[in-house]
Amino acid sequence: MEERKSYPEAPSLMGLGEAEFESAYREYRNLVLYILASILHDKEDIEDACQETFLSFRSAGKVDSPKAFLSKVARSKAFDILRKKKDEESLDENEAAKDDSPRSAEFDQWARSIVGDEDYSLILLHLIDGYGFASLSKRFGVKEASLRSRYSRALKKLRREGK
């Protein structure tokens, strides 16, 4: 008969053991919710940030002060959500304001016919509204390098056709 070797239990990939995590969750959940509610005012955002905070805590493993760690991560997650919402609102406002800009409708139509709506929007958001390629790449859902190439090609196309 073949003898089976016993191996030591593999360490948890998530950092903390289940019992430690549950204990910390019970002890600090209300604190985390309080911090998040003082910054965020949307219930779904608060719940999302709370979940992300505890996921970060769990994957961090042992920390010297769970209370300090969770407080700091909760604030960080809340401000990340606020920043993201502000960026989205700002992009929406800029798109609405573009319709009132003094550029001629004739030029807009010409440029859109050359490079397409999406690339023309990319040019406007970068040149006129001042958005960086990093934030635009998130908005367009493509890699930053790809977006820079698209932008460059679209500008070249407009210059070539405009001569």
Higher pLDDT, 3 or 32: 32
Q: Is 1 part of any domain?
A: no
Residues 31, 65 within the same domain: yes
The one-letter code for the residue type at 114 is I
CA atoms within 13 A on the CB side of 53: 33
Q: Is residue 13 part of a domain?
A: no
Structural domain span for residue 107: 101-162
User: For residue 85, which amino acid is it?
Assistant: K
Q: Looking at 36, 61, 86, which one is the last position of a domain?
A: 86
11 in any annotated domain: no
Tell me how crowded residue 129 is: count the other CB atoms within 10 A of its CB: 16
The model's pTM is: 0.47
Structural domains counted in the chain: 2
The CATH code of the domain that includes 106 is: 1.10.10
H or E element that contains 24: helix 18-39
Chain segment 71-118, per-residue pLDDT in tens: 999 999 988 888 888 777 666 565 655 555 555 778 888 888 999 888
